[in-house]
Amino acid sequence: MRLGFVLAATILALSACSPSGGQAPTSGGSATTAPDDTATVEPEAITADDAASDSASNVARFADLSHGVKTKSSKLKVRKRPTRESKSQMLGMTNPIDQRLVLLILNVRSTARGDWLEVFLPERPNRSTGWVKRDHVRVVKLRHRIEVDLSRYRLTLFRNDELVRRFKVGVGQDQYPTPKGVFYVWAKVPQPSPAGPYGTYALGLSGFSPVLSDWPGGGRAAVHGTAAAGDRGQKVSHGCVRVFNDDMRKLQHVAMGTPVVIRR
């Protein structure tokens, strides 16, 4: 990926994350509670046999915040309600660096005319959702989950609901709060320099800053690296979650669509 392309994508994905100063890289550790888990992970597709045997009860299992939808096409028809007559929009299914989106499933509904999946949309306002036909998408299983506890300045990584890692992180300043809610990984952006403003890597999220909207990219939030170990446990950002570079390397292999739950 060309350097200019990476930087342009970073501006779009992390526009609400301008640094407020920096420090020289320093070493630092983090609590490890399980073996390292850094292998590249892709969403696991639900098999054709599963799809063929879908019933109301089977489809309901997708509403557990660990399943997403993807498509082969570049656009997906999303409806306001789970009916073919409701208002619709065409949603682009790639981000600015041409990565295929995986939309996190919130809810399901079975009707006489087929099954519907309610998905979180990567647009304002936060928690925007829409409905898609089950037979228009491919359902995938998301093995990882990221949880951020703002009051404890803590990020926790799970795999198959088991604790993998726990890190101390930096969060948004009082005047630029980190958005709270359920989001997912919308972009995965490697960085050209670990000493840069976004460290080694950045995970652009589906959500946005609650107070910044006039920035390029609309104020999209992110979980990204930092070379400043002193950011951990501090309110230092414009809304993004800052993860020390050594720790960020443990997060960069999660799949597109991985749920990110941020709470107070």
Report, in this order, helix, strand and coil percent for the chain, each rounded to 5: 15, 40, 50
Alpha carbon distances (Å) from 234 to 2, 21, 168, 172, 173: 33, 13, 9, 8, 8
Determine if residue 233 is left, alpha or beta; phi over 0 gives left, psi from -120 to 50 gives alpha, anything else beta.
left
Reduced to 3 states (helix: H, G, I; strand: E, B; else coil), residue 116 is strand
User: Which of 129, 96, 117 lies closest to 46 in space, CA to CA?
Assistant: 117
User: Which of 204, 212, 121 lies closest to 173 in space, CA to CA?
Assistant: 212
In sequence order, which residues have a C-beta less than 8 Å from that of residue 47 and are 6 or more positions away? none
Tokens standing for residue 212: 């910044």
Reduced to 3 states (helix: H, G, I; strand: E, B; else coil), residue 10 is helix
Reduced to 3 states (helix: H, G, I; strand: E, B; else coil), residue 17 is coil
Domains and CATH numbers, the chain: 3-39+143-263 (2.40.440.10), 45-141 (no CATH)
> What pLDDT score was predicted for residue 16?
58
> What pLDDT score was predicted for residue 160?
97
Predicted confidence (pLDDT) per residue in 72-101, tens digit = 999 999 999 999 999 999 999 999 999 999
Mean pLDDT of 189-206: 97
pLDDT reading at 248 higher than 50:
yes
pLDDT reading at 24 higher than 70:
no
pTM: 0.85
Predicted confidence (pLDDT) per residue in 51-64, tens digit = 444 455 589 999 99
